[in-house]
Chain A
Amino acid sequence: ETGVTQTPRHLVMGMTNKKSLKCEQHLGHNAMYWYKQSAKKPLELMFVYSLEERVENNSVPSRFSPECPNSSHLFLHLHTLQPEDSALYLCASSQDMGDRMGGNTIYFGEGSWLTVV
């Protein structure tokens, strides 16, 4: 139990479907993240929210739409995805995202395996 819960764990969707990934953190953290993990590649940061405001969008296509209704919940809305979007999507949280040393350990959820067919 990492304190970060993701649902669903596995999702198969067609290219015309609309689906959402959900993340909930039980750690009282102020920052939440979406990462994408593809085979043989480093983790790619997609979005960062701090105190429910989006502070980072790493050139992610608009077919991925994040939503952070409160500091404990984070969603990733998916629509008209491509097969190359198939990957493990990891949600994470940290106490905050300032530059202070030691305050930025990021804790990950178990991930949502997405397959686009």
Chain B
Amino acid sequence: GESVGLHLPTLSVQEGDNSIINCAYSNSASDYFIWYKQESGKGPQFIIDIRSNMDKRQGQRVTVLLNKTVKHLSLQIAATQPGDSAVYFCAEIGPNQGGKLIFGQGTELSVKP
């Protein structure tokens, strides 16, 4: 069945470095993708989204890249800060799914001072 998954369950980076969190999806028909950040003890927080007619979208310190050829999604965080430490989830919506998101397992990002 369709699924969204993350390549690495944990990622540790030095403060100030750039972080790259990866996500693979299996449904080539998925047309909308979202990255969420979940800090300890809190609910998931929307970070950035991208539609399938785009391959790159930038926000504040974050960039999402979409490679439809290999069904790969990534989240890049520039100048990673301690406050970026959290679990990051990618999620997809595809046609015929009633608008419901399918979530991956999540990658835990740890930022070392």
Contact = CB atoms under 8 A, between A and B. Distances in A.
For the residues of A in contact with B, the DSSP-based class is loop
B99 A31 contact: yes
Interface stretch (B45-53, B65-73, B78-86): B45-53
Q: Which of B52, B98, B99, B100 has the most CB of A within 10 A?
A: B99
Contact of A109 (B43, B49, B51): B43
Contacts of B42: 110-111
Contact of A101 (B36, B43, B51, B97): B51
B100 A97 contact: yes
Contact of B99 (A2, A43, A94, A111): A94
Interface string A4-35: 10100000000000000000000000010000
A44 B44 CA distance: 13
B51 A107 contact: no
10 contacts: A31-B99, A94-B99, A100-B99, A105-B34, A105-B49, A106-B46, A106-B91, A108-B36, A108-B43, A110-B43
Interface of A: 2, 4, 6, 31, 40-43, 45, 48, 55-56, 90, 92, 94, 96-111
